[in-house]
Structure 1
Amino acid sequence: MGLSIPPSILRKIIHFLIFISVAYSQNTVVFQPSYLTANGPVVNALLLGNASEVSLNVRIVSPSNTTGSIGSPSCVDNATQWILTKDQIGETVAQVQLRLDKGLHLCGENETDTDCCPQSLCVLETLQVSACVDGKPLASLLIQARMHALLFPESTENDNKTAFPSHLYQTLGSCPCDLTFRACDVRCCCDKDCSSEDLKLFASNCLLGPFGGHVSFVPDYQCSVQSAENTPDWFPFLCVSSPPENNPFLGLFYRGDTITPASSPSFQSSVLSAPVPVSIYTEGSPIFRMDDQYFTIPQKALGRCVNSAPIAFLKNFRVSCVTLLHSCPTESPLKMLPSDLSVRVKSGQGGYAVVSVTDDVVTDLSHFISNAGASDGRLVCEKVTLALDYTFYWTENRITNITLKRTVGTITLNNTVKLTTRYSAVFLNGDFMREPNSGNPGYQEERPVIGGIMDTLGNDTGSIQRTSINLWKPDADGLCSSALKKPILFGYNSTSGCLLPVSRHNVTQCNLLRKTVTSLQAALIPGTYVAKTGNPDPLNMTDWVNISFVTLNSSDAMKNTTNSCSGIPSHQYIHVWSVTTGVVDGVPQREILALQVSYGLSSWSLDCGGGDFSPCLDPMETQLFPITSSVTFTDISVNTGPPKTRFQINFTEYDCNRNDVCWPELAFPITTYYTGEPHTQSLAKGLILVFFFIVASILGTPWKQIRQACNCAPPQTF
């Protein structure tokens, strides 16, 4: 019985073989996926291949009334309400993003703003994104966009609202030792489940620290505990004076204060109170001008731009605001004089700082203006504010200087222009941007591991620029094109991944597929160094360790078939070795000794079983394959010294742990038991102190009386 192939399937196979032969003879690019359905204002896709010289354009297409097909791709760019951007994230992979340049709120009855939706079904259109080289289309992406308008309340002034409990009314760590639900925990005096009879049993033995939780206790050798009971006789002479912030404790509880809510009806709109100036600045507190008003610049709140939002101390931000211009602006923030920006700001400690303004005039407005028609020169707007970039220099709780770079330009209006303005604020401590640490000095658990990139300066000295070492953080759809990144946390083993759509066309180009997956995995670790401790010095290379990358063995023969590719580096393994170097105030100090990155290879093959042969026949039909990344932490135990001898084990007179009298504590600051500062410094200070003690003893009253007695004694004669 012979096998007969239908003519339609035979024609598809012939076209597919011709397409493969053309793809091998030239450098092709492919969209992954090639078809998307958009329900939101942002659409992401991947462009695989050599996309460095590829230009992208987008247009609105519609199916033919006769044939029903969309038509071939075109390199002619048409005006749409979408903003198309391309971000190169690897050698052979680029991320393509379309963002809707239009608001999704429903138009009001008398609203004249065109940036709204006249109907409930706001967007219903088919988009075609074409990748072109020298005016010839190489690949295309079809997007079916269907979005409904968002409903917002028309007025928020007199509307009633429900008052939800705020976390500011109660600290999150009010009773950390309350571990058992509806049961009294022993020695936990803040446990609400304990009755008065229960508290009498352990009222004198409550857990130490605020609310019964564990915090960094003050060591016994600190001079600040001189009033403690049973203080040794040598304490006032050999106590150690060290600032309380010189400890590795970074905090356990929510840093906000408890606020007592005012008695008011539950259903009532809140009334904004007048600003209350602060005496000193703390992290998150608003910055004030000399007239006791908030120092404000445009920012975003609840997804919308607010022209007058207070700047918070030590809070960096960068926002963009879109404005629809019908005429030249006459008010702030788009039209301002330098004198309006050069204001006096309270420094936080009684003084003030004046904002230093510098103007930067730009002529290329392509990054700020979109959907601008042909200019006929009817209306020219000069010195329009395009960007405001503030830089705050601070020390402790004080602002020392403020600089502002204002970007201005000339805009020619023709009907309507969409203007995108940018605003930013950066806080610098000295010359370095404020960056959080992960320990002091050793790493603390579940703090981000700090990576680094060598930044060569002009004076032949190198510094390390901080970066992060990441894992995959997939989005709702799980695709790698929309996945984010999350930093790995010290001591926390984790595994994550995303899905990559792969078609038969990709499987025929295994080398390109391997490079694409390698580029996606390499983007997780942009640095080449990892910090040993949680507060590394960017100028000290001894605080950093080289990241070891295990190269893939390319000498092995890659077995590729028609529907499969082998040797895909789909699994990334990050192995971190750490060691505990000591204990400071009861907190272990852990350092990173090495970090190794290796890859696991796998074979990807299309699944054509189950009666579905479309993935093996249609070159654009995709299947999802996983890409994973994992991190494993290994703590290496360090031998603190040679084993004890029989004499040391049996003789306990000088053992401070098994004897009430501890003679080594007599000279505690100059012994190795004291870890508050380097042993060499404490030993030098101790020897100087002993020298002065001996000199004072020799020159003191006892020796003076002995010398006088010797001098006054009559000579003896024999």
Structure 2
Amino acid sequence: MANVVKIVFFQLILRRVTCVLLFMSLAHTQNIVEFQPSYVTTTGSTVTALLLGNTSDVSLNLRAVSPSSTTGSIGPPSCVAEVTQWVLTREQVGKSAVQFQLRLERSLRLCGENETDTDCCPKPLCVLETLQVSACVGSKPQASLLIQARIHALLVPANAASDNKTVIPNQVFTPLGSCPCDLTFGACDVRCCCDKDCSTEDLKLFVSHCLPGPFGGQVSTDPDYQCSVQSNENSPDWFPFLCVNSPPENNPYLGLFYQGDTIASKPGPSFQTLASSAPVPVNIYIQGSPIFTANNQYFTVPQMVLGRCVNNAPVAFLNNFEVQCVTRLSSCPTGSPLQTPQTDLRIQVKDGQGGDVMVDVIDEVAVDLSLFISSTDADASSDESLVCDNVTLALDYKFYWKGNGITSITLTHTVGTITLNRSAVLTTRYSAEFLNGEFSGEPNSGNPGYQVGRPVIAGIVDFLDNNTGSIQRTSISLWKPVSDGLCSTAEKKPVLFGENSTSGCLLPVSRQNLTQCDLLRDTVTALQADLVTATYVAKSGNPDPLMLTDWLNISFVTLNSSSPMEDSTSTCYGIPSHQHIQAWSVITGIVDGIPQRDISSLQVSYSLSSWALDCGGGDVSPCLDPSETQLFPITSSVTFIDIPIDTGPPKTRFQINFTEYDCNRNDVCWPELAFPFTKYYTGEPYSQSLAKGLILVFFFITASILGTPWRQIRQAWN
């Protein structure tokens, strides 16, 4: 019987899947269109929806509908448009999608009494209707969308202020904030007992829970010496003769912070754009100061500001940058920076030492445009095409500096010829690099210790012509997944000092890849090794590239797999899927009260894992099709460990566990019995307590000698 039930159950599932596949095939062959969403309820004056499918010959018709009085249902869609109070607009957002919008063309203001204007709402419920949008091909409807509109009128205060001046009363006699909890105009605020909009019935609901203190309108409570405060039960005998009778109007806060003067507001807007002042040239350049041209203007290069490319961004001294700006071209550019003549690039720049330097321009023509043209919308039916000559593709500046000045500037101007059929997406590159002789003027990450949030400085050894080694800076990075999260499209982000982070990307792996485990391991190892290309890490935030003592060797450790096994046809073991960076930092000193942290060690380790295809959940295609892939994660992380400052030798077990004489962790403290001779007595200086204690001891001994016991001993002796 159980087997029969299972067979019937699987037959039902197979029928449903077959129906769904037939419907999808039929929809594909007939180019059926549909609305997303299929039903909308709106309370505002704007409605937006999408029409998906083959929308090339589809028209949209709008009409107002109502349910049938007999059946209660809406009639079939119609391709006959009607005049409504809504305006329908559409916009093509893709080859198979149309975005349309309905906008209410009427005022939502509530009509006043005896008002004859028709462009207002006679009732609070201003609009209550059902709309139907039909997608038609010719006169045949293909799909429909129902919109239920329920819009209330806007309530505008009848006594809206029209004067732009605010009358402020004399604050010597009237507090400015008489009821601070009155936050809503024309409505009663709960628990605000000083709100004038609250009726007597409203106050009865929360009269015993009024907001106390200044926020509830009680600027100051009555003091204890007021005669109205004390009652007959708890008042002392002297209170009726010494209490003070003072009216509540004599508030001590009145006039305390305000002198009673009134200030009339000035007409005009309350916000105005400040006029930007002209740039002030500097005498010498320091790191971060803007570079100026010979006519005292900012020297600008397109840069990324707040996530957007700005064409006129000033260049800062000793600050390197490299940005990419994306521009969609539908016609040939005519202005800067995409069309810049050489005369505009060859300009005079102040060198920061009282002179000028000329920008030396080197023109290069790009033959391969694949690095700059990311995508094009080609139209094979279009016979007309635009040819754009000498389009700027890249501007690469090199600033040579010495001390606080610039010695020379070299610009590599890359141009190319772009052919436009309809439009193209152009990616232009701009960069600036400051070179001191043969070394790049890289920005530091602290002075001298690292600053939290600045990149960790790393490098590799570069041997010069005279066989002297120097450190060429490189990066230690983590994964920065974008768009689809695949490792092929993922970017890299630098490791920031003091900030722990974990990131990763996805690698598509097929059954065929799992038969070549050595190649798969080499591929993952190469991807992980590309994150850490350095062999040295800087101890401090401002290392010297010529001083190897400022750098530390990076140690690389490969962790063994938890269960070492031999590879099989469907499983690969020992995949270095996780890279972990551990950095130990220590405080080496204090500068101006700020602790300076240095890196004392950096270790890169790899965790090994096994990869096998997961064919559960009904998806068995990766296990049957050798080219079908599954996504496997490749992760990277960084952890910063603070090494505590050495405060002395560690405590022994006796010092940790033996608390009999510890006054801080024991209720009975025997050293306190020797007050005031021990250090535990802190009521007065130790010298004074010792002197007073010795005096007390002297008097005690004297009293004992002269007292009755000693007199009896002397009598017995005699």
TM-score (norm 1): 0.45
TM-score (norm 2): 0.45
Q: Which of structures 1 and 2 has the larger relative contact order (alpha carbons within 8 angstroms, sep 6+)?
A: 1
